[in-house]
Copies of this chain bind each other. A is one copy, B any other.
Amino acid sequence: VVSIAVDALGGDLAPRAVVDGAVQAARRLGLNILLVGPADQIGAELARHADAATLPITIIDAPDAITMGEAPLAALRRKPRASIKVAAELVASGRAAALVSAGHTGATLVAAHATFGVLPGVDRPALAVTVPTRTGAAILLDAGANVDCRPSHLVQFGVMGAAYATVAMGIEYPRVGLLSIGEEAGTGNDLTRDAHAGLSRATVNFIGNLEARDLFSGQADVVVCDGFTGNMALKVSEGLVGMIGQWLREDFGPQLGRVVPRATLRSFRRRMDYAEYGGAPLLGVGKLVLVGHGRSSAHAVRSAIAAAARLAEARVVERLAAALKP
């Protein structure tokens, strides 16, 4: 049975949403959950569920939280018993097969990096988010782990993303596109122009620039960008879906306007929102780590735990390491 370490203090709705999501997962998914955070708070939240004592959930006491405003490196140094750090250690020691957190992405990255390092050949781990496309789905990376990148980092993201698409999605020769603002190799900024040259020489199926307009087109299986750009593209899309929903309601009145957003837009939101969609793996670190959206609901936490179990059973990190070997 797989054990998953869950940061109970991660996310805007923690610890309640995390504990509730863990309870849902523990009831249904046949796995062990290590809930990491202040034992008293977790205990109080668990007590709201009548069957809590019968579930395969273990509380691991870790009193400190890293808050959104803190600089991760300094905060983790100051707080060796922070929940994210203790959770990472459970994975490093082999007690858990994966780490799930909907908290501070930077803190998760730093804790993972410090605790179990990166895979050989990787300089910068990247957050890989699944985005819906006209024809199915694509992997976008980096979705926010590295806000300032060098061209060589983007080349690595392409290699890691392709390996992940093969391992996790079963695509034999994933098409790797570089997110930019024009199709031609010369368009984009200094970063994308140099990354284009690097990806052209890399051993991936590089299809060149992917116009931002075509992000959802299905032309690429793997979409490469720096973390600022990737996070920006995802958040702009989230905001736009919200606005279109409002307009549909205004244009069609409460009756139809309620139906249309409910059906299509909610389904889109579910596909779009990486928390709902099951958490985003942090590719390139030495162990399996999934990051949930900061606004993760209990359902989102449950989805992320399920995804972590699935990827752990598929031995994704081991296979990624093998694929990245020079």
Contact = CB atoms under 8 A, between A and B. Distances in A.
Interface string A187-230: 01110100000000000000000011111110000000010110
A239 B216 contact: yes
Contacts of A313: none
A interface, how many residues as a size bin?
35 or more
A295 to B, nearest CB: 10
Interface centre among A134, A213, A240, A248 (most CB of B within 10 A): A240
Contact of A265 (B71, B211, B236, B244): B244
User: Counting chain B CB atoms within 10 Å of each CB, which of A217, A234, A244 scores highest?
Assistant: A244
A232 interface: yes
A190 B148 contact: yes
Contact of A260 (B229, B237, B260): B260
A144 to B, nearest CB: 7
Contacts of A268: 244, 247
A239 B214 contact: yes
Contact of A233 (B236, B264, B265, B267): B236
Contacts of A211: 235, 239
Contact of A68 (B148, B184, B190, B226): B184
A239 B215 contact: yes
Taken together, the copies of this chain in the complex come to 2
The CB with the most chain B CB atoms within 10 A, among A236, A247, A263, is that of A236
B244 A241 contact: yes
A243 interface: yes
Given A147-B181, A247-B268, A212 B189 contact: no
A133 B242 CA distance: 11
A179, A184, A231: which has the most chain B beta carbons within 10 Å?
A231
A80 interface: no
A286 to B, nearest CB: 26
Contacts of A136: none
Interface of A: 68-69, 71, 132-134, 144, 147-148, 179, 181-182, 184, 186, 188-190, 192, 211-217, 226, 228-229, 231-244, 246-248, 251-252, 260, 263-265, 267-268
Given A213-B242, A237-B237, A247-B267, 11 more contacts: A147-B190, A189-B226, A211-B239, A212-B232, A212-B236, A213-B236, A214-B239, A228-B229, A232-B233, A237-B240, A252-B263
The 10 closest A-B pairs by CB, nearest first: A212-B235, A147-B189, A213-B239, A213-B235, A181-B231, A189-B228, A216-B243, A212-B232, A212-B236, A233-B236
